[in-house]
Structure 1
Amino acid sequence: SNLVPGDTNGEADAFVHDMSTGVTTRISVNSAGIQAEGRSSDPSISGDGRYLVFSSDASNLVADDTNGDGDIFIHDRTTGETTRVSIDSTGTQANNVSVDPTISANGEHVAFVSVATNLVADDSNSTRDVFVHDTTTGETRRVSVDDDGTEGDGFSEHAAISGNGRYVAFDSVAANLVPFDTNMVSDVFVHQYLPDPPPSTTTT
């Protein structure tokens, strides 16, 4: 409770330490700078240090947080704004807990794990899935799926996202994500979230 002034919530918080200035700042706060009223953890930082994502049980970090579950938030160090990203593509909050966020280096995509069934359509496997939220478009997509978009038949977790957000790695016990998965143990998968860029053209 002594890393920043006014830390009186008695909860675990998320902080960032500026290696250049030596200043430590608490980022598990709402957009007005008010401290979280619940536990915050699992911070991940963008390549330029501007954006940080974290999970929190607090219900006072954004308006209308009424689901009573842990959510994923992103904090903008430049503007001070805190936004919830464990939402569906229309902004509806998750109906179950979300954890383990990681942010792409460019700060545009956040991968996380959730048990929620309302973040995408046709989520009926009743287990943990990996999702990616696009902070620029607001779209949330499930990536723990096979090449045809079929959901995994087992839980998926421990997401990691590439710097440009194109690829998401995760482990899963699902046996239907790729053909010939018969080892009956957890495996590591890579899902291409963003399409390849168009080939460059050269004029002569």
Structure 2
Amino acid sequence: MAHTSVLKFILLLLVGLAPVAVQAVGVRMVSVDAAGSAAGQATTGGGLEHKNASMSADAGKVLYSSLADNLTSPLADNDDALGDSNNVFDVFVWERSSGANSVVALNLGGTSSGDGAGILGHISADGSQVAFINDSTNLAVDEPNPIPTPTPDGDDHVYLLSGGDLTFLTLNYDASSPAGGSPGAQEVQVGNNGKVFFTWFPSNSSAEGLIDDKQICDRNGDYDLYVYDPASSADNKVELLSISTNPDFPDAGCDPAATDKTANDGVSDIMVNASGDKVVFVSAANDLISPQIEADFDDDVFLWDNGTIKMVSKNATGDDGGNGQSINPIISADGSTVVFESNATDLVAGISDGNGSRDVFVWTEALGVRLVSVNETGLATGNAGAFNPSVSGNGNLVVFDSDASDLTATDNQTSTQIYLRNVLNNTTEMVSLKANPTDPMVPEGSSGGASNPLISE
């Protein structure tokens, strides 16, 4: 999610609570039909669904995918009348100023959306860049021009919409045709600088890949992390980021001329900072950093920082990754701070961890890893797990949900609640407070609770 620079609001999903002490704000429907009078609907192609939303820092633009076919106005000479006739998911951008939706990519005739699905996309913090994944074979791209032959093959390819121009990103290494990918791309993120980070699964076919296998050998059988960099000297401007630091050639199946290879496990859960020069991700690979310190192949959190990969989820002594799984990394807009979940018990010295569940942690270059979901004594984790963190743009504030009842002095709740941690002054407060202290926290007949917090900057 894109973020701004000061705390403006906290969005809570509150389930079954009595009125809470959260200021009421106006709510606008984003997935509204072209007339602006009703929710978007799908007339064919299955049930209605909208998902995978992201927004610019000022909330001026919202990107999402939808099955609805009435979100856009009719296009000229379009017999289908709606400009969206493929009966599958498409990626849309809603603009606050106009209240209107637009599909991010049209077919070659400019009459409708492409002939395939667009399920996932991301909009940059400043709203100038849109990157998305689509398996259409007939999108009207502006770059490269002319369109490579053969046209995209129905795999999940990556596109960038910038300045009104649509660029096809996942070309083979000499930029002569679409790269072979089966299924292709899985995740995508874009920074204000136009760098597009994505994960890609190569094809087992004879189709040429994003990288020249005579230079870099890919044999891990998983998704790897790539970046499309407009300033790159590569023919296709795509570079592999998840490279092994210990090639140990020869590897079976690798070209004898290859000098590098992919890491020994895949990459997932990527997130970019606002400027686009840092990205966090999860991997179980033990050869992404040198010297190799991860012995157990647990999932760990890593940070790619302008060409250097660092392990975020190191143990307190720094000689290995944590003794448990670390997942769900979130990076602050300014790139200074990473928050994540982990069930490791050895990330912070002097902290007792006996809840047997995941906890929330924060990492900075200067201070390393600190516990966010700490109990009121400051000496142990909460007495239950903590999940779903979100961080402010400058990294000073972290919100999360927790089942613990000992995170604050007045906390005696038995249901999931939302907490705000100030990591500068080491204070925690419950956000999902009762409006009336005499009211029960969980109304009779309700499961109660609050979860899935998001914080803007």
TM-score by length of 1: 0.81
Whether 1:171 and 2:401 are equivalent positions in the alignment is yes
AA aligned opposite 2:335: G
Unaligned runs of 5+ in 1: 197-204
Matched residue, 2:309: 82
Unaligned runs of 5+ in 2: 1-201, 204-208, 247-259, 427-457
Q: CA RMSD in A?
A: 2.6
Matched residue, 2:329: 101
CA offsets, 1:121-159, max 9 Å, x none?
Answer: 222322211111112x24211001244424211111111
- Report the Cα offset of residue 8 of structure 1: 4.4
TM-score by length of 2: 0.38
Matched residue, 2:287: 60
Whether 1:161 and 2:391 are equivalent positions in the alignment is yes
Give yes or no for contact 2:342–2:361 (8 Å, CA) kept in 1: yes
- Report the Cα offset of residue 84 of structure 1: 0.5
1:1-80 matched pairs, under 5 angstroms: 1=202, 4-5=210-211, 6=213, 7-17=218-228, 23-30=237-244, 34-62=261-289, 63-76=292-305, 78=306, 80=307
2:416 and 2:237 mapped to 1: Cα distance? 41
1:193 and 1:166 mapped to 2: Cα distance? 6
CA offsets, 1:10-33, max 9 Å, x none?
Answer: 202334445899945443335687
- Report the Cα offset of residue 46 of structure 1: 1.5
- Report the Cα offset of residue 74 of structure 1: 0.6
Greater shift in the superposed pair: 29-38 or 39-48: 29-38
2:315 and 2:301 mapped to 1: Cα distance? 12
2:225 and 2:412 mapped to 1: Cα distance? 38
Give yes or no for contact 2:293–2:319 (8 Å, CA) kept in 1: no
Matched residue, 1:200: none
- Report the Cα offset of residue 40 of structure 1: 1.2
AA aligned opposite 1:50: D
CA offsets, 1:35-78, max 9 Å, x none?
Answer: 222121111112211111100011111222213211111112x3
Larger CA Rg, structure 1 vs 2: 2
Change (3 A) 1:103 1:41: same
Give yes or no for contact 2:245–2:287 (8 Å, CA) kept in 1: no
CA offsets, 1:137-192, max 9 Å, x none?
Answer: 2421100124442421111111111111101111111122232443x332221111
Per the alignment, in what secondary structure is the counterpart of residue 220 of structure 2? coil
What is the number of equivalent residue pairs in this alignment? 192
Give yes or no for contact 1:90–1:138 (8 Å, CA) kept in 2: no
Identity %: 33
Give yes or no for contact 2:220–2:264 (8 Å, CA) kept in 1: yes
Give yes or no for contact 2:316–2:346 (8 Å, CA) kept in 1: no
Change (3 A) 1:106 1:187: same
Matched residue, 1:111: 339
Greater shift in the superposed pair: 102-111 or 148-157: 148-157
Give yes or no for contact 1:128–1:155 (8 Å, CA) kept in 2: yes
Matched residue, 2:381: 151
